[in-house]
Chains A and B, each alone.
Chain A
Amino acid sequence: GENVEQHPSTLSVQEGDSAVIKCTYSDSASNYFPWYKQELGKGPQLIIDIRSNVGEKKDQRIAVTLNKTAKHFSLHITETQPEDSAVYFCAAVNYGQNFVFGPGTRLSVLP
């Protein structure tokens, strides 16, 4: 079955710097890759996603890139702000619509 690894597990950056979180997946049939942000005391919230026919997608300060050959995808956050501090989860989804989540990355943005 699908296995999703996520690195790093924790990440601290200075406010204004960029943050990058990387996920690798094992199942070449996976074709949808969402990213979720979980703030303290809340449920995960979808922030951006990418489909396998696209290499990159941007939404203001966040972007996701996908390398299907290498089976990895990354979340990029530019100009980080304190409100970006949260746990971020990636997921890989195949045509069977089974979501497999990564273990999460705790991002801390230091003022």
Chain B
Amino acid sequence: EAQVTQNPRYLITVTGKKLTVTCSQNMNHEYMSWYRQDPGLGLRQIYYSMNVEVTDKGDVPEGYKVSRKEKRNFPLILESPSPNQTSLYFCASRTLSVGLYGYTFGSGTRLTVV
């Protein structure tokens, strides 16, 4: 089954404790992205990657890091989480083939930073 898998689904952590949210896709998609979803603000892009070793900032990159060492994986790293990073996070991927195609999203990670 074509899917984007992110883990964990739920995470509660304390301020300043480094954490990583993993994301993996099995569709051989070139493009991967992280979004955060907050009430009233919709989906905002954090970082994206158009291929292995190629990453770039989205609209809200402050406080986050990413890496793309393999085509299928795109982890999101919070080196020193703060309460304002409490949110629902989605990883998504899509092809860059000719034509524009929609994203496939993961099931989400609900992060709470206390």
The answer for the CA separation of A36 and B90 in the assembled complex, in Å, is: 14
| Known A43-B107, A43-B108, A44-B90; contact A89-B102, beta-carbon cutoff 8 A | no
- Asked whether any CB of chain B lies closer than 8 Å to the CB of A93, the reply is yes
The answer for the CA separation of A99 and B34 in the assembled complex, in Å, is: 12
Q: Can you offer 16 A-B residue contacts whose CB atoms are under 8 A? A: A31-B100, A32-B100, A41-B107, A42-B107, A42-B108, A43-B92, A43-B106, A43-B107, A49-B102, A89-B43, A99-B45, A101-B43, A102-B42, A103-B40, A103-B42, A104-B42
Most buried by A among B40, B41, B105: B105
A residues lining the B interface (CB < 8 Å): 31-32, 34, 36, 41-46, 49, 51, 89, 93, 97, 99, 101-104
Contacts of B100 in A (CB 8 A): 31-32, 51, 93, 97
Using a Cβ–Cβ cut-off of 8 Å, how many residues does chain B contribute to the interface with A?
18
Contacts of A102 in B (CB 8 A): 42
Judging by beta carbons under 8 Å apart, are B102 and A46 in contact? yes
Judging by beta carbons under 8 Å apart, are B41 and A103 in contact? yes
Contacts of A45 in B (CB 8 A): 105
Contacts of B96 in A (CB 8 A): 97
- Asked whether any CB of chain A lies closer than 8 Å to the CB of B103, the reply is yes
